[in-house]
Amino acid sequence: MGRQSRSGSIAGRRLALIAALAIVGSACGGGSDKGGRAAEGAVRGGGFSLSIGEPEHLLPAATTDNNGQQVLSALFTGLVRYDPSTSEPRNAMAESMTSPDQQTWTIKIKPGWTFHNGEPVTAGSYVDAWNFAAYAPNGNGNASYFSKVEGYEDVQRSPPRAREMRGLAVVDETTFTVGLREPFSQFPLTLGFQAFYPMPKSGLADPKGFEQQPVGNGPYLMDGPWRHDEAITLKRFPAYKGLAASADAVRLRLYTNDETRLRDLQAGTLDIATSLPENELPAIKAEFGHRFVERDSSGFNYLGLPVYQPAFAKKELRQALSMAIDRPAIIKAIFNGSKQAAGSVVSPLVPGSRADACSACHFDPVKARALLAQAGGWSGPLQLWFAGGSRNDEHMEAIANQLRQNLGITDISFQTPEFAELLSSVKAHKVTGPFRLNWLMDYPSPQAYLEPLFTSGSSGNRPGYSNPRVDQLVADGNRAPSLEAGIKAYQAAEDIILDDMPVIPLWFGKTYAAHSKRVDHVVLDPLSLIRIEDVVVAG
Amino acid sequence: MLQVVPVFFGATFLIFALVYAVPGDPIDALAGARPISPAVRAELRARYHLDDPLFVRYGKYLSGLAHGDFGQSFRGEDVATIMRRRFPVTVRLGLLAFAFEAVLGIAAGALAGLRRRSLADSAVLVSTTVVVAIPVFVLGYAAQLLLGVKLHWFPVAGQEEGLRSYLLPAMVLGSLSLCYVARLTRASLGEVMRADYIRTARAKGFSERRVVGVHALRNSLIPVVTFLGVDLGSLLAGAVITEGIFNLPGVGQAVFGAVKTQEYPVVVGIVTALVLVFIAANLAVDVLYAVLDPRIRYD
């Protein structure tokens, strides 16, 4: 496992804090403790503010952005949620999720839960929400998360052949079954993602109106409608059946500018700031000390290689390019150490990831030149593609310099279209050289990287890479009898990918938050979200 | 007033064509790195008329507009709603900045113009030169850090404290124009003070207050008013940076974001409204000329 020491220390502090809070909680009598929260912390009341950006959507089926995700994580409780330190899935609303063959899943939910409007959360709330999300004419950005469910292709046809996926069936009030197209051992792990949240009937009837003040089943409910570009206010849901949230009220302030959040935090008018400006990180770290929180993010930054181009067809050449890049030097000089050099294609926060799986990701200019010679050398111009205007210039410049210096490739130029144009060019196989992209996982499984990015014909497979052995091993992992049993096959697939090197792994991102003295227990989860319900207001 | 019609069609079509010409699929920009299913993409492209040729799209937009429909953002929000929410913010900011630059600018300029080579004159000259040389975003961040974070004189960002929240951003936004106004007033007043009719007024025995206030200042304000008229429009349009630094959700931020995501209904709606404001401001300037200089008449 490649987890960093820093997250270990967070976990350590968390434990100490939990112990302290448990004592305080019991001393206060714990009268307001609804769900036996003593094990996790106590209900301490109070209110705090947190900075996010304006969400694009507040509809679970349509929310693809981090800001919307952060809001929904407080308004909804899904079937599972991820342990903030180990990333492992823990049952939340799910009572059990079982399958004899990893293909037909029986999901039992906990009884007695309600939405904020009093409507009971039933098996139907899940099935209806999922069918709504997958039905193509609804235009939901998260539709593809149901692509493994049987009948998905019928609701995605144009015109659609069905309104509902035949794989989903309600058994009784608290039980439903999910039939998948093929075995998928990681299925329970995927269910913490917002696309799988339940929806109340009112929301499905009027999704547009719903978004202005979503009604969920989570620890917090909206205190008034969404005030666009200004604030979203939450208050504790008194009838919540899970662990009650610690603070009474939360004010999510919506910012457009990273620097501005920091200034508000520094002035004491904001309690928690996320998305801190990268160039100020060392100063922020020094200023906030233990009130600065750092965690690996799932963000995988890579240079994709157009393997369909004859110039990039040889894997020795691809390895040579990789070994000519001194990742730690770039991270230190350009990112202020705010990245982690990649030695794999799976983020270190994913169970089953390995910090050092990639032998060709080490900086070794001598070997790089030997590999380049073996591949027949490089002639002509080399174009590096990346999205312009998004702070990529500096490190791409550094990469270009290292390629010049270490491989003697002199004629290097840049192509910097806007992100949307870059993506369109990459998809149309029109790029002529290495292209810089990144990938965020949706659930902490190696499969969330390997299958979408590297299996033949997959939607995120930008280099156009195809290796039947990788396809087979990923399928083996999907078919494995348990979550854990799949990991061996996934690792074997990753080994082949790293040797073939259709992408050059560069680094993994980190996420940061800083907070005021008023709050404590500020934890970033594996999806880089603040655990809003765990934040404790101290004074 | 008739000029509004060609300006309206010209501006909307130009913006339309420009946004249309931006390469790349806006749905990709919307989805980010995550893949989006082909059927959903087709659905969204049809919903926002992205597959239509330019003229068809423009036609659909105009016919919607005729029915009072400004179109929708890619998040499904009505552009009219967005404009209703955001224009008041920018108008408040713009007007406050405008008042700041007009009042302080003319006062400082008059002071410097009347007392040439005095200490006050040098102070105005030096300070305006310095401010003109500083980019707005540097000024904004510096003012925010010093006056907001360190001294707590002003709110740091947002608009939670009502009009008080607008003071600092308005000063930052108006500061550059303030310098121009001050220098313009100073130069113009200096020239007018040497004019014949001022000597005549003095010879008539008018008080110095009347000479300066009625005869000199009124005439010297014509170039200043011209500048202010043009500037009112550019204040509204140029608020992007200030709005961003102080987290004010005005139209500047909306246009900036919408251009990046190619949301043409948002861009076209807001920019067209800004064009109309610009035309109205120029009209007001023309009327003001007549008030300031009795020799100018519109028949």
pLDDT, residue A33, reads 32
Q: Where residue A24 falls among pLDDT bands split at 50, 70, 90?
A: very low
Select the residue of B22, B39, B85 nearest A158 (Cβ to Cβ).
B39
Q: Do A128 and A77 belong together in one domain?
A: yes
Does residue B50 surpass a pLDDT of 80?
yes
Task: Please name the residue of chain B whose CA is at the shortest distance from the CA of residue A419.
Answer: B29
Among A103-112, A230-239, A513-522, B269-278, whose mean pLDDT is lowest?
Answer: B269-278
CA atoms within 13 A on the CB side of A140: 28
Does residue B236 surpass a pLDDT of 80?
no
Does the CB of A204 have a partner CB in chain B at under 8 Å?
no
Q: Are B113 and B190 in contact (CB under 8 A)?
A: yes
Which residue stretches of A81-224 are H helix?
A: 123-134, 152-155, 187-190, 201-205, 207-212
- In which residue are the tokens 């016919």 written? B63
Q: Where residue B45 falls among pLDDT bands split at 50, 70, 90?
A: confident
Question: Is this complex's ipTM strictly greater than 0.85?
Answer: no
d(CA A370, CA A516): 53
pLDDT, residue A107, reads 97
d(CA A500, CA A503): 9
d(CA A326, CA A368): 11
Looking at per-residue pLDDT, the higher value among A348 and B5 belongs to A348
Stretch 339-378 of chain A: residues touching chain B, C-beta under 8 Å: none
Contact A267 B245 (CB under 8 A): no
How many angstroms away from the CA of B252 is the closest CA of chain A?
12
Q: Do A204 and A328 belong together in one domain?
A: no
How many angstroms away from the CA of A267 is the closest CA of chain B?
4
Task: Please name the residue of chain B whose CA is at the shortest distance from the CA of residue A52.
Answer: B247
Q: Do A463 and A329 belong together in one domain?
A: yes
First-last CA distance in chain A: 38
Q: DSSP letters along A305-355, please?
A: --TTSGGG--HHHHHHHHHT--HHHHHHHHSTT-EEE-SSSS-TTSTT--T
pLDDT in tens, A132-145: 999 999 989 899 89
- Mean residue pLDDT of chain A comes to 89
Q: Where residue B237 falls among pLDDT bands split at 50, 70, 90?
A: low
User: What's the CATH number where A103 sits?
Assistant: 3.40.190.10
Among A240-254, B17-31, B160-174, whose mean pLDDT is lowest?
Answer: B17-31
Within-domain flag for A237:
yes
Q: Where residue A223 falls among pLDDT bands split at 50, 70, 90?
A: very high
Q: Do A436 and A533 belong together in one domain?
A: no
Does residue A34 surpass a pLDDT of 80?
no
How many angstroms away from the CA of B298 is the closest CA of chain A?
45
Within-domain flag for A489:
yes
**Residue from A373, A268, A366, A382 nearest A324 by CA:** A366
| DSSP for residue A89 | E
Does residue B260 surpass a pLDDT of 80?
no
d(CA A346, CA A353): 6
Q: Where residue B1 falls among pLDDT bands split at 50, 70, 90?
A: low
pLDDT, residue A186, reads 93
- Name the pTM for this structure: 0.85
Which range, A4-8, A54-58, B251-255, has the best average confidence (pLDDT)? A54-58
Q: Across residues B244-265, what is the average pLDDT?
A: 85
Secondary structure class of B16 (helix, strand, coil): helix
- Mean residue pLDDT of chain B comes to 85
pLDDT, residue A264, reads 94
Looking at per-residue pLDDT, the higher value among A220 and B136 belongs to A220
For residue B275, give every residue at least 6 positions away whose Cβ sits within 8 Å of its Cβ, in sequence order, or none.
B7, B8, B11
Does residue A80 surpass a pLDDT of 90?
yes
Count the domains in chain A: 2
Does the CB of A206 have a partner CB in chain B at under 8 Å?
no
Q: Across residues A40-61, what is the average pLDDT?
A: 88
Task: Please name the residue of chain B whose CA is at the shortest distance from the CA of residue A139.
Answer: B40
pLDDT, residue B32, reads 63
Q: Are A167 and A156 in contact (CB under 8 A)?
A: no
> In the numeric block, which tokens belong to residue A307?
């393997």
* Structural domain that includes position A472: 297-510
Q: Across residues B21-48, what is the average pLDDT?
A: 77
How many angstroms away from the CA of B254 is the closest CA of chain A?
10
- Percentage of chain A surpassing pLDDT 90? 78
Does residue B111 surpass a pLDDT of 50?
yes
Q: Do A241 and A329 belong together in one domain?
A: no
For residue A523, give every residue at least 6 positions away whose Cβ sits within 8 Å of its Cβ, in sequence order, or none.
A10, A14, A84, A293, A530, A531, A534
Residue B86: its chain A contacts at CB < 8 A? Answer: 229
Does the CB of A452 have a partner CB in chain B at under 8 Å?
yes
Q: Do A200 and A330 belong together in one domain?
A: no
Interface test with A, best of B139, B147, B156, B255 (most A CBs within 10 A): B156
**Residue from A282, A371, A357, A390 nearest A325 by CA:** A371
Q: Across residues B103-121, what is the average pLDDT?
A: 89
Q: Across residues A306-316, what is the average pLDDT?
A: 93
Q: Do A521 and A401 belong together in one domain?
A: no
Strands A249-255 and A231-236: antiparallel
Q: Are A155 and A163 in contact (CB under 8 A)?
A: yes
Q: Do A460 and A531 belong together in one domain?
A: no
pLDDT, residue A392, reads 84
> In the numeric block, which tokens belong to residue A265?
């935090």
pLDDT, residue B208, reads 82
What's the sign of the alpha-carbon dihedral B266, B269, B272, B273? negative
Does residue B22 surpass a pLDDT of 80?
no
Task: Please name the residue of chain A whose CA is at the shortest distance from the CA of residue B251.
Answer: A229
Select the residue of B33, B85, B244 nearest A440 (Cβ to Cβ).
B33
Q: Are A144 and B40 in contact (CB under 8 A)?
A: yes
pLDDT, residue B6, reads 85
Contact A420 B249 (CB under 8 A): no
Q: Do A489 and A523 belong together in one domain?
A: no
User: What's the CATH number where A381 sits?
Assistant: 3.10.105.10
Among A3-12, A187-196, B156-165, B265-274, whose mean pLDDT is lowest?
Answer: A3-12
Instruction: Establish, for the pair of chains A and B, how many residue pairs have beta carbons separated by less than 8 Å.
Output: 131
Task: Please name the residue of chain A whose CA is at the shortest distance from the CA of residue B159.
Answer: A230
Q: Do A493 and A533 belong together in one domain?
A: no
**Residue from A199, A255, A235 nearest A58 by CA:** A199
Within-domain flag for A269:
no
Q: Across residues A183-189, what is the average pLDDT?
A: 93
Does the CB of A421 have a partner CB in chain B at under 8 Å?
yes
| Alpha-carbon dihedral angle through residues A163, A167, A171, A176, given to the nearest 10 degrees | -100
Q: Across residues B169-190, what is the average pLDDT?
A: 91
Interface test with A, best of B27, B40, B81 (most A CBs within 10 A): B40
Does residue A228 surpass a pLDDT of 50?
yes
> In the numeric block, which tokens belong to residue A386?
């990346």
Select the residue of B42, B249, B262 nearest A229 (Cβ to Cβ).
B249
Q: Do A474 and A522 belong together in one domain?
A: no
Burial class (CB in 10 A: 0-12, 13-18, 19+), B74: buried
Q: Do A202 and A342 belong together in one domain?
A: no
Within-domain flag for A324:
yes
Per-state percent for chain A, helix, strand, coil, to nearest 5: 35, 20, 45
Q: Across residues B216-238, what is the average pLDDT?
A: 81
Q: Across residues B266-286, what is the average pLDDT?
A: 82
pLDDT, residue B299, reads 57
Within-domain flag for A217:
yes
Does residue A87 surpass a pLDDT of 60?
yes
Looking at per-residue pLDDT, the higher value among A10 and A276 belongs to A276
Q: Across residues A248-254, what is the average pLDDT?
A: 96
Looking at per-residue pLDDT, the higher value among B203 and A69 belongs to A69
Phi and psi at A515, nearest 5°, equal: -140, 165
- In which residue are the tokens 């009124």 written? B218
Q: Which residues pair with A439 in a beta bridge?
A: A300
pLDDT, residue A3, reads 29
Stretch 131-160 of chain A: residues touching chain B, C-beta under 8 Å: 136-141, 143-144, 147, 156-158, 160
Residues in chain A: 539
Burial class (CB in 10 A: 0-12, 13-18, 19+), A221: buried
What's the sign of the alpha-carbon dihedral A402, A405, A406, A410? positive
Within-domain flag for A273:
no
Burial class (CB in 10 A: 0-12, 13-18, 19+), A468: exposed
Does residue A14 surpass a pLDDT of 50?
no
Q: Where residue B160 falls among pLDDT bands split at 50, 70, 90?
A: confident
d(CA B252, CA B234): 11
Within-domain flag for A276:
no
Strands A47-53 and A249-255: parallel
Q: Where residue B23 falls among pLDDT bands split at 50, 70, 90?
A: confident
pLDDT, residue A16, reads 40
Q: DSSP letters along B39-59, please?
A: HHHHHHHHHTTTTS-HHHHHH
pLDDT, residue A233, reads 97
Looking at per-residue pLDDT, the higher value among B280 and A287 belongs to A287
Within-domain flag for A267:
no
Among A233-237, A241-245, A458-462, whose mean pLDDT is lowest?
Answer: A458-462
